[in-house]
Structures are given as C-alpha cells and as structure tokens.
Structure 1
Amino acid sequence: MHASATRRLDGATLFLLTFPPLAWAGNAIVGRLAAGTFPPITLNFVRWVLAGTLLGLYTWRGVVEHRATLRRHAGLLTAMGVLSIASYNAFQYLALTTSTPINVTLIGASTPLFLLIIGALFFRERMRPWHVAGALLCLVGVSFVLVRGDLGRLAQLDFVPGDLFMLAATIAWSAYTWLLRKHRPDLPLPVLLFAQIVTGVVASAPVTAWELMTLPAPIPWNGKVLGILLYVATIPSLLAYFAWDRAIARAGAQLPVFFITLTPVFAALLSTLLLGESPHWYHGVGLVTIAAGIGLAQRR
C-alpha cells in the first residue's frame, strides 16, 4: 500500500469519515421523535438559531475580518442559505412527520443522481456513459424504496407525503452543492457556515411564524424537547459539518461519497434500537442499488 493511502485511511480519518453519517442518521431519528411534539419548520428554525448563536461566539472575529467578502457575495450566500438551511433541513423534518428515518436517509443517499442531473442541466457538466448508468441505478434504488418493494404502486403514484418532501430536500441540497462547488466564496468554513445560517434563519422566519400561528396546541416545553434541541443544534449542525470538512481535506473528494451511504445503515440500526422500526427487505435492495450506482458514477 502506498504511503499516501495509509495516511488517508488512518484511524483519525476513518473516524472523521464515519462520524458525520452517524450524526446525520441520529438527526433523522431525533426528527422522528420530535414528530407530533415539536412542529417541523419551527424545529428547523430553533435548531439553526441555537447553532448560529454558538458558532457566532466562536467565529465573530472572522466575520468582522471578512465583512467585505461577505458583502460582495451577499446574493450568493443568501441563495446557499435558502437552499441548505431554510429548504433542505426544513423539508427533512417535514418528511419525518410521515416517513421513517430509514426511508428518509435512503432517499437522501440518492444525492449523486440529482447532482448529475442538475450539473448537466444548469452547470454544463458533461455526463459520461457510466455517470448515466450510475444515476439510473440510483433512481431504481430510490424508486424501489418509494414504492416499498411493490411495483404496483408506480401506476397508482401512492407515495407517502414524507417521501416526496425528502425528494424535494435532496434536490435542494444538490443545487446547493453545485453552488458550493462552482462559486464558493473565499471564506473560512466557520464564517461561510455562519453566513449561511444567518441567511437561512432570516428566510425561514416568515414560514416559522405562520406555522406557530396555526398550531392547534402550544409546544410542550419539557425535558424531551430540550434534549432534542440540544442534539440537533450541536452534533449534526456543527460538529458533523466540521468533521466532514476535515475528512474531505484528508481523504480527498471521492472517498467520502461512499461513506455517505453509511447514513441509511446507521439510521436502520438506530431505528431498530430506539424506535422499534425494523428495516424491511426493500430497504436492503434499495441501499445496495444506490451504493452500486454511486460507485459506478464515481468511476474515472
């Protein structure tokens, strides 16, 4: 084995690659636990207000130092905040009100499919034959999960609303990823993340206010709710993002894509342990098909 490969796959790098999928799977579990207790759009809003406050305490000097760059890229940062903070995360919590964490994370694992499509349509990225084949495999895997192994549902379009919300979330995240890849402002990660949080929170505020005004009952502020907020505001919002950034810096851009497919695996394990929602055979078929599609699409 080459020395570079050994360096890339040392224990610290493996931890950095594995921790984010575990944290994001935990976010899906917690979002499911919050369903019926805490309204989904408000959960997303409070999550990022808390995360932004914590991050701001750490990075405010960097924000002041890079204020000229922030002003110059205000429009781009707003679009990134709307797509990631305001749209992707809100759609995910909406999805978890009617869908399971396993379904949600499996559909989210199909991101490479939508990355290819959006790249070809809007960013003039060339799709090679193995890209198309990999995207089609991902599509087959996602479709199999959506119809829960019953192909007759394709004719009836009988999907759970949460599954469709997660599809919308995945498309939003794919568009955000292309903006980040093609037009990333020259900012340190903490400053960039803070700017996206601020713009995303501002964009979420009107919809959050509407949701709160239409609630049938007040939010029960108890230990469960506080624990949910503490988790979502720290581990999947901040720690996982920083670990993922460090993992890409150490391992490159290709290898981490395969570790993302661990998210539905972790979600299945955590769902069984914490929610009593055991995975079904079609989840396994979908996971294998999506993973094969990602592997094929990543071929050079």
Structure 2
Amino acid sequence: MKINYSNPHFLMLLYTVLVSGSFHIGHVLVNYMDSTVLTFVRFLLGSVLFGVYVFPRYKVRLPSLSDLARYFAISASMIFYFWAMFEALRYTTPLNTAITYTVVPLFSAVYGIFLLKERVSFVKFAVLFAAMLGAVWVIIDGSLSRLAELDFNKGDLIFLAGCLCIGLYSPLSKKLHKTEPMPVLTLWTMITGTVWLLLIANVKILKINFSALDTAFFAGVAYITVFATIATFFIVQYSSKKLPVSEVMSYIYLTPVFVIIIQALIGKRLPHTAVIPGVAASVVATFYFLRS
C-alpha cells in the first residue's frame, strides 16, 4: 500500500509518534543536567534553527515594546511546560506524562471559554472530561485507594501544572496574535522564551561543561529540538489548514498508546493491566473527535 505523505491524517499520526518519543528521550536527558538549563538549550537551538527558516522567507522586524510584551506572555506558558516535562521525568514515567498530556485540550477549552468567549458543547466537554479522568486513572496506577489517600507522584503533579500552562498557549496565541505570520509569532515566542530561561538559569548555564557531554546527549537534544519542536510545529500548521481543529486536537489522545508501543519496542516494563481503562478512554476520545 502506497503511503500519501502529504495526507494530514498520516502527518498527525507522525506528530503523535514524535511527541511520544520526546517523553522517552526527555526521561534520558534529565540525567545530564538541571531541567532549567536543559529547557534553555532546547529553546536556544530551536530559535536558531527556526530563525534559519523564517528570516529568508518573511519580513522579520524588531518588535515594539508592546509586541515584546505579547511574545513574552505567550512564551511564559511554553517554558514552564517544557521545564515541567523535564523536571517531572525525574520522578515519574514517560507513560504517566503522556497520559497527563491528554488533559491539555480540556484546559485549552476552558481557557478558550474565558479568553475567547468560545462555546463548547456539553458532549464535547464530557469527552474531554472523560479523557482527563483516564489520565487520573493512569496517574494513580488504577488504584482507588491511592486516589483516596491522595498519594500522587511528585512528578505527576509537576507535569499536571505544566499542562495547565501549555493549555493556555493556544488560546493565548490566538488572543494576542495580530497581523504577523504565524511562523514569525512562533519565532519570537521561542526567542523570548530563550531570554526568560537565560535570566532564570544564567549561573547554572555557566557551570555546565558542554565539552564533557557525550554523543547520546547531543543526539537526544537534536531529536527534541528538530523533531519534537520544529517538525511538529509545521505538521500542526499544515494539518490545521486541511482538517477541522477538533480532528487535529484528537490525535493528542493517542499519545499514551504510542508511548506504550515505544516502551515495548525498547524493552521497557509495560504498565499494569489496571491502567488499561485510562488508556482506553484516550483512544475512545480520539475516535469521537475523528467521527465528529
């Protein structure tokens, strides 16, 4: 069977695989350095590589103070999410982060109601809420007693806070976007995010001996930057022009499935059967949005 590589559904499946892989790669990278420095490296390289694409194709002008304020506000939600992802992976598993990631559409929908005055149907909100419950079920490892004791993993709570922030990214970008092309907005968001992180982690950055880092680290950072950041941006931008927003968003719910597949391929321990209902909720949510 011949694959149509320009098919937006194929590309969104590729997007889901790339994002799923980033949780496993991030789990390895956190052993090398502080989460803030790691996030800085990701944003710095992303800004450089994305700038190579944007500057020759668009009229990029120095932003005004009001524009900078917009970009700094948008980037704040991004940098906290990526910091939270790396920090959370010190204490929790890639599967837990992938499942928790599925609550982002719910958070975005709620933010959209207040920031953009968008309307969300009861059925759609119910499906989003069911996906969130699936995430909670995996976080508590399928144990109601653990839920009753509020015995959550520290990493799960950190990443949940990160998801609260990244859920704000899409509606905030829409709210603050003016006339500039979206790639230009994204570039300045990454640059201002780099500045945020430079201000926060300046001393820690200076203490890192980058020459002592091995090939595995640089390969991991390259994957996170090129595939999980830049490539996914272009995939979502292209697919959003071909598909309804609900269909693009629905692929997020397949992330836990691909994380489990990757775990099996690399020989990692598979999750307990008790968490299957949580994963199933993610799959059902995906097919609901695809059908609707």
Report whether the alignment pairs 1:269 with 2:261: yes
Structure 1 unmatched ranges of 5 or more: 1-8
- 1:26 corresponds, among 21, 24, 48, to 21
- The counterpart of 2:161, out of the listed 160, 168, 189, is 168
Contact 1:130 1:299 in 2 (8 A): no
Q: Mean alpha-carbon deviation: is it higher for 284-293 or for 32-41?
A: 284-293
Q: How far off is 1:126 after superposition?
A: 3.7
**Map 1:33-48 → 2, pairs under 5 A:** 33-48=28-43
Match of 1:79 among 73, 79, 87: 73
Paired AA for residue 247 in structure 1 = S
Deviations 1:8-55 (A, max 9, x none): x96522332111111111111100111322322211110111111112
* Displaced runs of 4 or more, over 4 A: 68-72, 210-215, 217-220, 293-300
Contact 1:135 1:294 in 2 (8 A): no
1:298 Cα offset (Å): 8.7
> How far did 1:62 drift?
5.0
- Which consecutive residues of structure 2, in runs of 5 or more, have no partner in the other structure? none
| SS at structure 2 position matched to 1:142 | helix
Cα separation, 1, equivalents of 2:162 and 2:232: 18
Counterpart CA distance in 2 for 1:119 and 1:101 is 28
Q: Distance in 1 between matches of 2:192 and 2:32?
A: 27
1:1-300 matches, within 5 Å, as 11-13=5-7, 14-61=9-56, 65-67=59-61, 72-84=66-78, 86-209=79-202, 211-212=204-205, 220-274=212-266, 276-293=268-285
User: Residue 147 of structure 1: CA displacement?
Assistant: 1.0
- Alignment check: 8 A CA contact 1:38 1:225 kept: no
- With 99-108 and 278-287 compared, the bigger mean Cα shift is at 278-287
Three-state SS of the structure 2 residue aligned to 1:73 is: helix
Using CA pairs under 8 Å that are at least 6 residues apart, name the structure with larger relative contact order, 1 or 2. 1
| Comparing 279-288 and 250-259, the one that deviates more | 279-288
CA shift at 1:295, angstroms?
A: 6.1
How large is the RMSD of aligned CA atoms in angstroms? 2.8
Q: Distance in 1 between matches of 2:291 and 2:108?
A: 15
Q: Alpha carbons of 1:127 and 1:237: their partners in 2 closer, same or farther (altered >3 Å)?
A: closer
State the Cα distance separating 1:118 from its structure 2 match. Answer: 2.3
How big is the shift at 1:183?
3.2
- Residues 42, 260 of structure 1: alpha-carbon distance in 2 compared, 3 angstrom cutoff: same
1:98/1:259 CA distance change after superposition, 3 Å: same
The aligned counterpart of 1:4 is none
Q: Distance in 2 between matches of 1:132 and 1:254?
A: 12
Matches of 1:32 and 1:69 in 2, distance apart?
36
CA distance in 1, matches of 2:138, 2:203: 32
TM-score norm. by structure 2 comes to 0.87
Q: Distance in 2 between matches of 1:112 and 1:16?
A: 19
* Partner-residue secondary structure (3-state), 1:200: helix
- Residue identity over aligned pairs, in percent, reads 22
> What count of residue pairs does the alignment treat as equivalent?
289
Task: Tell whether the 8 Å contact from 2:30 to 2:90 is kept in structure 1 after alignment.
Answer: yes
Contact 2:254 2:282 (C-alpha < 8 Å) held by counterparts: no
**Which residue number in structure 2 is paired with residue 3 of structure 1?**
none
